[in-house]
């Protein structure tokens, strides 16, 4: 069994190497950041909100968020490359679970594909950190792989990622984590159909059905309904800190 501190060192080494070189974002990352920006536009935020990108990885999402307000990117990895690439933002290297960050300083905390890489017993602590960082009535945006969808991928979805830790959440578990840490959920939907093909997903992701819906002019309605019913690859949540 890997000891916790040893595990953190292994993760830090993995992510520091992973994010050291610049790489273009893929189409799924594009759709996730678009959803995050959509949620931002729906939230009651100041004109230039103070933003924390919690688990910022390579820093490109912080760079985008930092166009709309002062942004701090936080990651376990070495953030030196991100500081060079995105000089209009601030960055700090921290183990988020242990980080005593500035209390009540941010209007918005964004977490894109991070919580699933936290040990299951620490996921509530991770959301609690986000809550401490936020002002009262501040907003939290989370995207994370949808456990239900991942498990409907042939092979169980384990080929989806080679990252050290994968602890997926289903909609009910994500709701519970967020609500138990003083948040009111404003929106919970999913992003990106496709990939999964077991059970009901065989119908949802059917190319024949998609063609039929397009021919009837109903594809957009069908797609929105499927995403709202959480058949997407990723969950996307907007929540407001109320306590």
- CA-derived radius of gyration, the chain: 18
Cα distances from 5 to residues 57, 98, 121, 210, 242, in angstroms, run 20, 11, 15, 48, 34
pLDDT tens track for 191-235 = 999 989 999 999 999 999 999 999 999 999 999 999 999 999 999
Query: Do the domain assignments include residue 174?
Result: yes
Query: Do the domain assignments include residue 215?
Result: no
Query: Do the domain assignments include residue 222?
Result: no
Going by the DSSP 8-state scheme, the letter that residue 146 receives in this structure is B
pLDDT tens track for 109-122 = 999 999 999 999 99
Q: Are 37 and 63 in contact (CB under 8 A)?
A: no
Domain of 68: which CATH number? Answer: 3.40.50.150
Cα distances from 78 to residues 45, 112, 161, 187, in angstroms, run 30, 18, 21, 33
pLDDT tens track for 81-107 = 999 999 999 999 999 999 999 999 999
Lowest-pLDDT choice from 114-118, 152-156, 157-161: 157-161
Mean predicted lDDT score pLDDT of the chain: 95
For the chain, what is the domain count? 1
Query: Domain limits at 86?
Result: 4-193+233-241
Predicted structure pTM score:
0.95
pLDDT tens track for 178-194 = 999 999 999 999 999 99
Query: Do the domain assignments include residue 200?
Result: no
Query: Do the domain assignments include residue 9?
Result: yes
Query: Do the domain assignments include residue 199?
Result: no
């Amino acid at each position: 069994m890997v000891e916790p501190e040893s595990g953190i060192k292994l993760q830090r080494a993995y992510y520091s190497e992973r994010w050291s070189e610049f790489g273009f974002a893929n189409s799924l990352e594009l759709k996730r950041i678009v959803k995050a920006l959509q949620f931002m536009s729906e939230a009651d935020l100041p004109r230039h909100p103070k933003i924390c990108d919690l688990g910022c990885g390579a820093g490109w999402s912080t760079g985008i968020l930092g166009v709309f307000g002062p942004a701090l990117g936080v990651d376990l990895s070495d953030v030196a490359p991100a500081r060079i690439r995105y000089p209009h933002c601030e960055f700090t290297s921290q183990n988020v679970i242990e980080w005593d960050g500035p209390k009540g300083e941010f209007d918005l905390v964004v977490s894109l594909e991070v919580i699933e890489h936290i040990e299951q017993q620490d996921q509530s602590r991770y959301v609690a950190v986000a809550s401490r960082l936020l002002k009262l009535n501040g907003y939290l945006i989370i995207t994370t792989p949808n456990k239900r969808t991942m498990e409907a991928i042939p092979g169980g979805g384990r080929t989806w990622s080679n990252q050290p830790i994968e602890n997926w959440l289903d909609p009910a578990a994500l709701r519970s984590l967020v609500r138990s840490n003083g948040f009111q959920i404003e929106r919970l939907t999913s992003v990106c159909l496709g990939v999964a093909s077991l059970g009901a997903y065989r119908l949802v992701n059917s190319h024949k059905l998609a063609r039929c819906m397009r021919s009837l002019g109903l594809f957009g309605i069908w797609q929105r309904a499927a995403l709202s019913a959480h058949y997407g690859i990723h969950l996307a949540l907007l929540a407001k800190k109320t306590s």
